[in-house]
Structure 1
Amino acid sequence: MRAPIYKIMSTAQWQAFKESGHFKGSEVDLADGYIHFSTREQVAETLDRHYKAVPDLVLLSVDVASLDGDALRWEAARGGQKFPHLYAPLPLHAVSAHSVLDLDEKGRHSLPTLPEHLA
């Protein structure tokens, strides 16, 4: 069993991803040259730092074993933490679950219960 990684995107991006079968990345991803992900421990801070008060977001759980191992790299980023970065399009078949993220009155997103491992 492996821990999933998480991708945050808009509902419009999620709809386009479902229709095309792959996701090449958001504007930030394309500018940086890879698709940004967070681990279970990092996703709340990522939401607070980069998506506070942004409506209509979806959180994708991604099965690491479904990705090309050479394209997924764990690289130091915020505070020296290792973040997963995908240097290839994300295939739809790698998404094991998705959740719409609700906003509270302070502009913070309510996270669903995140699994520690995928079966």
Structure 2
Amino acid sequence: MLEIPHLYHLATASEWDADATEPYTVSTLGRSLEEEGFIHLSLARQVAGVAEAFYGDQDVVLLRIDPAKVTARVQFEDVPEAGDAFPHLYGPIPREAIVSATPVPRSADGTLDFTGLLPEPI
């Protein structure tokens, strides 16, 4: 049986509320699910590139999401600028689908450091 990989979402530290009980609805950098139409997600191999492109100067929290506990449709859509297809969630992220929420540290050069936070590439 094929194991479904976890999906990931980068939340700014100011947007993430670990104590909230409502589903998470921030799509990206302050834009809501309602404004954007979906929530931007990533596969593990895509996270660092997304962080570099959009979150370089932000303090971020890496949300690891169990796709089996997501109730809305996840659709992979091509992002030509990135040369890849990214998962988009067409609904909120249920809190029970969030496996972990980990603040991402910075390396000595100031970049976000995902060492040990993501699975190793196969």
TM-score calculated relative to the size of structure 2: 0.80
Number of aligned residue pairs: give it. 113
CA contact (8 A) 1:54 1:107 kept: no
Distance change >3 Å, CA 29–CA 80, structure 1 → 2:
farther
1:65–1:3 Cα change, 3 Å: same
Task: Give the gaps of 5 or more residues in structure 1.
Answer: none
Corresponding residue for residue 46 of structure 1: 50
- Aligned residues of 1:25 and 1:34 also touching (Cα < 8 A): no
- What are structure 2's unaligned runs of at least 5 residues? none
Aligned-pair CA distance for 1:105: 4.4
Q: C-alpha separation between the residues in 1 aligned to 2:12 and 2:115?
A: 16
1:79 counterpart = 2:78? no
Q: TM-score, normalised by structure 1?
A: 0.82
Identify, as 1 or 2, the structure richer in helix. 1
Structure 2 equivalent of residue 8 of structure 1: 10
- RMSD, aligned CA: 1.9
Pick closer, same or farther for the CA change 1:88–1:76 going to 2, 3 Å.
Answer: same
- Which residue of structure 1 aligns with residue 20 of structure 2? 19
State the AA in 2 paired with 1:67.
V
